[in-house]
Amino acid sequence: MMRRFWAILIGRNKEFLRDRGAMGWNLLFPFFVVFGMAFAFSDKRQDVFKVGVMGEVSALPVGFGATKHLKFVPFDDAAAAQGKLRHHQLDILVRPGKPLMYWVNENSPKGYLVEKILLGADAGGLSPVRKTVEGRPIRYVDWLVSGLLSMNMMFSALFGVGYNLVRYRKNGVLKRLKATPLRAVEFLTAQVVSRLILIMGVFAVVYHGSDFFLHFQRLGSLLDLYLIFALGSACLISLGLLVAARVTSEELAGGVLNMLSWPMMFLSGVWFSLEGAPKALRLFADMMPLTHLIDAARAVMTEGATLSHVAPHLYVLAGMTALFLAVGAWTFRWD
């Protein structure tokens, strides 16, 4: 069994490495996106202030709650909210009540302005209590890089595996393999491992190459980050195998893969946070594997989280991987 598995694994890796165009695109495209975004969003000026609220937004003082250009984001976890304030992802954190309490990062110029707005607005007769936190600001590129790397993995996993299997089936390669002792589970496992090795290799080159010039702020463990991306890649590869398990048309495969990848790209937190979005939209986003991959990786990079802190995301990714592989192997056909 291992000899059959090894033969398919080596053959697939050689096929990819000999395709110079695909290999070059997989390496260069993430660099272009990361450096492009770093340049485009190097200007720190923004028009909207972000206010965290510990409790109901409706409980805020009327004058402050009605202020224009303030975006209010409710939080249930005080530690998580203060962590975002510490890294300048919130401009101020307010807890309605008696007394009204607020936290501000003294190193944040935007926090200073929102504090003046709060103190100058009608506080409903309350005397706000001031507390402070300290923390280094996280640039947009520090926040964005996890999403960009995950998005690149998604396209490489879905289209690299999905199109490849459909092409094998259309060209009769799978029909010829069916005549050998090779079993479907061995073939599919070799495809997963091969693509996983290639994706993680590209990830290492892109991440460390970009970090050399942009100096990403990574508060958590590099090993944890690698483990998260490896599990997320395996999940996305398994999803690509599931799509290609029975499809015979490249046009149909492309349509299905686009139908899966585009919602994930826009709703999984690649470009913007879904905090404050409607609950139904967030529930829909939580059904996507890319959401859990990005949230776990971003927590390690920007919040210093450990594997135990992001365990719920890892459990979801592991469960989805097992489900996609099982259904893909069960429904797979050679011809």
pLDDT of residue 42 exceeding 70: no
pLDDT in the model for residue 25? 67
**At 229, is the pLDDT very low, low, confident or very high (cuts 50, 70, 90)?**
very high
Residue 103 pairs in a beta bridge with 93, 131
Residue 200 and residue 21 in contact, taking contact as beta carbons nearer than 8 Å: no
pLDDT in the model for residue 40? 62
pLDDT in the model for residue 231? 95
pLDDT in the model for residue 250? 78
pLDDT of residue 20 exceeding 80: no
- Consecutive H or E run containing 203: helix 184-214
pLDDT in the model for residue 233? 93
Q: How many helices (H) and strands (E) does the chain have?
A: 13, 5
Lookup: tokens for 329: 């192997």
Other CB atoms within 10 Å distance of the CB of residue 55? 14
Comparing 229 with 330, the larger pLDDT belongs to 229
Could you check whether the bond before residue 99 is cis, i.e. omega within 30 degrees of 0?
yes
Cα(95)–Cα(193) distance, rounded to whole angstroms?
49
Task: Please compute the mean of the pLDDT values over residues 39-56 and round it to a whole number.
Answer: 71
Lowest mean pLDDT among 27-36, 92-101, 233-242, 321-330: 27-36
pLDDT in the model for residue 241? 87
Cα(218)–Cα(211) distance, rounded to whole angstroms?
10
pLDDT of residue 44 exceeding 70: no
pLDDT, the chain, mean: 83
Q: Is 24 left (phi over 0), alpha (psi -120 to 50) or beta?
A: alpha
Amino acid at 254: G
Kindly give, in sequence order, each residue whose CB lies less than 8 Å from that of residue 20, ignoring residues fewer than 6 positions away.
none
pLDDT in the model for residue 291? 93
Residues constituting the chain: 335
Q: Which CATH class is domain 49-133?
A: alpha beta
Dihedral sign for Cα 296, 301, 303, 305, please. positive
Rounded to two decimals, the pTM is: 0.72
Task: Please compute the mean of the pLDDT values over residues 10-16 and round it to a whole number.
Answer: 77
DSSP structural state of residue 69? T
Phi, psi of 56 (to 5 degrees): -80, 135
Residue 107 and residue 137 in contact, taking contact as beta carbons nearer than 8 Å: yes
Report the candidate in 144, 118, 48, 131 with the shortest Cα–Cα distance to residue 82.
131
pLDDT of residue 277 exceeding 60: yes
pLDDT in the model for residue 164? 79
Q: Give pLDDT tens digits for 108-163.
A: 888 888 888 888 765 555 677 877 777 666 777 788 888 888 988 898 888 888 77
Report the candidate in 12, 34, 22, 24 with the shortest Cα–Cα distance to residue 212.
34
pLDDT in the model for residue 121? 66
pLDDT in the model for residue 37? 66
Q: Report the SS3 class of residue 289.
A: helix
Q: Report the share of the chain in percent with pLDDT over 70.
A: 91
Lowest mean pLDDT among 123-127, 174-178, 327-331: 123-127
pLDDT of residue 257 exceeding 90: no
Report the candidate in 257, 182, 213 with the shortest Cα–Cα distance to residue 42.
213
Q: Report the share of the chain in percent with pLDDT over 90.
A: 17
CATH 3.40.190 in the chain, residue ranges? 49-133
pLDDT in the model for residue 43? 54
For 153, how many CA atoms within 13 A lie in the half-sphere containing its CB? 36
pLDDT in the model for residue 297? 93
pLDDT in the model for residue 144? 82
